[in-house]
Amino acid sequence: MGYVAVCGGENAIRNSETLLQFYRRRGESDPIQVRQIVQQMRLAVDRVMAEGSLYDPTLAALAIKQTEGDLVEAAFLVRAYRSTLPRLQTTPLLRTSGMRLIRRISAAFKDVPGGQVLGPTRDYTQRLLDFSLLDECGPAPEPPRTVLPGGAPEETERISEYLRREGLLSEPSRDAPVSVDITRDPVSFPVPRSARLQHLARGDEGGMLALAYSSMRGFGNVHPTVAELRVGYLPVRVAVPGLLEPVVIGEILATEVEVIARDGDAGSDGSSSPQFGLGYGFALGHNERRTICMAILDRSMLAAQPSAPAEDQEFVLSHIEGIEAQGFTNHWKLPHYVDFQSELDQLRARRAAGPGTREEPLIAPCAEVPA
């Protein structure tokens, strides 16, 4: 296609960058500190960490400050920085049953072993503007004392395990022993479930929400129930030469969701009993909406014969990639002088030839991806 080099605009570009910094710092208020963003905008920070695919609250907060709160652009900066980091080691699999819980709920059962822990949530409050925050001052409020003696247990069995023991939950498909790493290995469709989950874990939340909602509204067959939602801290371990057991090097905040939905294929041929199907979601940070959508889409893409957009893995995974989507969208702002002039020439020629002229396509659809 007709890209051309743009020359002579260095001064305008430098002035534009200077003006951008003016808009970022305009006004008389003190600059926002990165630590304030980490401490008081935790959900924005957690979303950027998830979509940036890097667990570092400070870097995520820095990206939010640099981009003036544009979370998609902030995730782009974090993921770009991530690509420069060396990969030193791969940790053993995380055991989410040992999560140090700050929140655990089930929409499927009222009474669950270990109890339900509401934790920090807006689910049960009115959605009204709090005008007292306009002039908020003073120290932070003290957290309430826990209502569970001793806190949540260290090992909490998933609710899905109870259903599985009763034979009501279908067994998940097993991938190859070595999982695909989508940041290193080229992806070709169809992809194994491990690769699908990686795409979903760092997908654009808005895109995932739209596709999951389409399935819930009838453009798909998944009307889910949240079997369990967990938010808590997971220990991260690494193997150290000379030691038999991996060593804990820290912990990360994460959200895990399992949804169950009727499996429309099971039992249809009389060869097996009807069962529930399971969808799984996991993301860095406190990201409940993201992980619910992730679990719904995971369950949707397990369909043997896709019949809806949310069930087609190539459609879903190609269109929830927020970094690529925003890059391709933004590139239309760059000069396209030559190809548009070609369109103008063809259109004028057709108009001059008269209404009986056979119409030819103006130009082939633009398929280039900007660097």
The tens digit of pLDDT for each residue in 162-183 reads 888 888 888 766 666 667 888 8
Question: Is pLDDT above 90 for 371?
Answer: no
Q: Is the pLDDT of residue 9 over 80?
A: no
SS3 25: helix
Q: Which residues of 78-111 are buried (b: 16+ CB within 10 A; e: fewer)?
A: bbeeeeeeeeeeeeeebeeeebebbbbbbebeee
Q: Which residues of 18-35 are buried (b: 16+ CB within 10 A; e: fewer)?
A: eeeeeeeeeeeeeebebe
Local structure of 169: helix, strand or coil: strand
**Cα separation, 290 vs 207, whole angstroms:** 10
Q: Compute the 3-state secondary structure of the chain and give helix, strand, coil in percent, each to the nearest 5.
A: 40, 15, 50
Q: What pTM did the predictor assign?
A: 0.86
Q: Is 267 left (phi over 0), alpha (psi -120 to 50) or beta?
A: left
Question: Residue 96 gets which letter from DSSP?
Answer: G
Residue 369 has pLDDT above 80, yes or no: no
pLDDT for 25-72, tens place per residue? Answer: 888 889 999 999 999 999 999 999 999 999 999 999 999 999 999 999
Contacts of 215 (CB under 8 A, 6+ apart): 221, 222, 296, 297, 300, 308, 310, 311
Cα(198)–Cα(183) distance, integer angstroms: 9
**How far is residue 368's CA from residue 3's CA, in Å, rounded to a whole number?**
10
Q: Across residues 328-354, what is the average pLDDT?
A: 89
Strand arrangement of the beta sheet that strand 276-284 belongs to = 100-105, 225-238, 247-262, 276-284
Peptide bond into 190 cis (omega under 30): yes
DSSP H helices, the chain, are 10-25, 34-40, 42-52, 57-66, 71-82, 159-165, 193-201, 205-217, 288-300, 313-319, 322-330, 337-353
Q: Which two tokens stand for residue 370?
A: 């900007």
- For 68-72, 131-135, 348-352, 358-362, which range has the lowest pLDDT when averaged over its residues? 358-362
pLDDT category of residue 112 using cuts at 50, 70 and 90: confident
- What the block records as the tokens of 170 is 């279908």
pLDDT > 90 fraction of the chain, expressed in percent and rounded: 50
> What pLDDT, on the 0 to 100 scale, is given for residue 360?
57
Cα(133)–Cα(140) distance, integer angstroms: 12
Q: How confident is the model at residue 267 (pLDDT cuts 50, 70, 90)?
A: very low
Q: What is the mean pLDDT of residues 180-194?
A: 86
Confidence check: pLDDT of 295 > 50:
yes
**CB 153, CB 114: distance < 8 Å:** yes
In this prediction, residue 63 carries a pLDDT of 98
Answer yes or no: are the C-beta atoms of 41 and 61 closer than 8 Å: yes
* Mean pLDDT score, 108-123: 88
